[in-house]
Structures are given as C-alpha cells and as structure tokens.
Amino acid sequence: MWNDTSIPDLNGRVALVTGGKCVAIDSILSENHSITGDRLVWPPLDLSKPSKIVEAVQLLSSREKRLDILINNAGVAADHFTMTVEGFESTIAVNSIAEKFGPKHNNFSTAKDLSDPGTTDRDDYTSRKTVFSRCGASKLANLLFTRELQRRLDEEGVKIIALAVDPGPVATDGGMGVFPGFLKPVLKLVMKSPEKGAFTQLYCATAKEVAEEPEKYRGKLLTAPGKVNMGSDRSRNSELAQSLWIITEEALRIIGI
C-alpha cells in the first residue's frame, strides 16, 4: 500500500503548497534535520485577496527559476456568511477563485466529494447558502477547474498533469471546526489523522505512477493513492467547466486583476 515512505527522492525539486501556516516551519525543521531553513520559505499569501496572490506569485517568480509541484489546498468552510473586500463569498474566494492564479505546473487541488449539491453560476460568488452548500459549490468548482485546466494544458501541448483530490474525512483543525464540540471526540475516532489524510495528495505530487501513466490521471479526481474516481455528472460537464473558467476570468477582470 502506498504511503509516505513510498515518496521518491525529491532533491532539487521546487514545490509550492498553499494553506500552510508559518508556525509549521518550526515543526518541519525540528522533525527533519536534513532540511535547512533556507530551503523552506513561507511567502505571505492570503488566498482571500486576489491582489495578495498576485504578489506572492511574483515573489516566487523572482526567487525560483522553476516550479515542479503546486499543491492548492482548498479547505476553508466558514460557518458564517462573510464577504471579501472584492465582494466574493469567502468560501468560494479561497477554495475556488484563488486556484485561478496557480502557475501552470504539476498541479492538483483538494476537492472533497461534496460536489453534487453545488452550482457554479454567477450568484455563487455572492451566495448566502448554508456552510455545506457553499463548501459544496466551491468543491464542484475545484473539479471543474481541474478539468478545464487540463484541457487547456493539453491543447497547448504542455506536459503537465492537473489532478483533484478528495482526501476523505480528515481531522484537521479546519475540518473539525464546522462540527459541534460534543461530536469532535467521536469524529476523531473515525476520521483520518492529518498525516494519513495527506497520502493521496502526496501520491499525486510525487508518485512515479502518475508520470508514467498520464492518460489515466490527467484531469481526474483521486480519492486514495492510485484510485481514480469518476465524480458526479456535473463535475464531468465540459461545458460547465469552460463556463466557470470564463465567469471567473470576468469576475477578476471586473476587480482589475
């Protein structure tokens, strides 16, 4: 069974992982003495603010000549309705719109299997639906974005693989935050630890099988290492995927991005 010990040597590779916390750097360095501080950089990146994402991408471009792996962690599930300064609903802004800024490199996004009830029309950018409906819409958008990104990469002849990942139920701080306190002890017994929850992401980003079998993986959703899931009918709708791409570009153009 594939796990973190299956990861090949990544020496010399450059990776960008969103959704992390700067405090995690101390933990990583203390647990991995072979990693030096200059090899692990935390660029300020607020995924709810498109202008800040542009600044972070520019900073990365000035520091690095290449990017081998891009991991778009999209896991915000705000329990209260909030709007960003640009006028987007915050869950959609962080989980979906922020993806549009990712450099075109080995790319995949976390997209939990909440996509059936979601929609992707213009109103979803300012929707006041329930937390699960908002999250579902953003995750459907993740799957559609991945499909359309892969189509465009293939059309341009770019040999990059874009994948979406459903890690399943994972007991992260963010994931547990949407549940009542009395349920959390029970849920932790049945949910994956954050370490095991990352295995599918790590597989997509590092496994040789992905590079060796591109036809199997390009633009697909994975629910476990090596396990491709068809997803919902709506998530496979190519016209909807193209429409979402165009609407997102239009929304960003309106705010001057």
Domains held by the chain: number: 2
Evaluate if residue 21 carries a pLDDT over 80: no
Task: State pLDDT tens for residues 215-232.
Answer: 999 999 999 999 999 999
Q: Is the model's pTM score more than 0.75?
A: yes
Q: What is the pLDDT of residue 106?
A: 44
How large is the C-alpha radius of gyration of the chain? Answer: 18
38 and 90 housed in the same domain? no
Helix (H), strand (E) at residue 69: strand 69-72
Question: Edge-to-edge, what's the strand order for the sheet holding 221-224?
Answer: 15-17, 69-72, 106-110, 162-165, 221-224, 227-229
Among 29, 59, 74, residue at a domain's last position: 74
Q: CB under 8 Å to 225, separation ≥6 — which residues?
A: 1, 2, 3, 199, 200, 203, 207
Q: What is the pLDDT of residue 242?
A: 95
215 and 246 housed in the same domain? yes
Which stretch of 7-16, 124-133, 163-172, 227-236 has the lowest confidence by average pLDDT? Answer: 124-133
The CATH number given to whatever domain includes residue 176 is 3.40.50.720
Evaluate if residue 7 carries a pLDDT over 90: yes
Task: State pLDDT tens for residues 103-141.
Answer: 433 444 554 443 444 444 444 444 555 556 667 788 888
- Structural domain range at position 144: 75-255
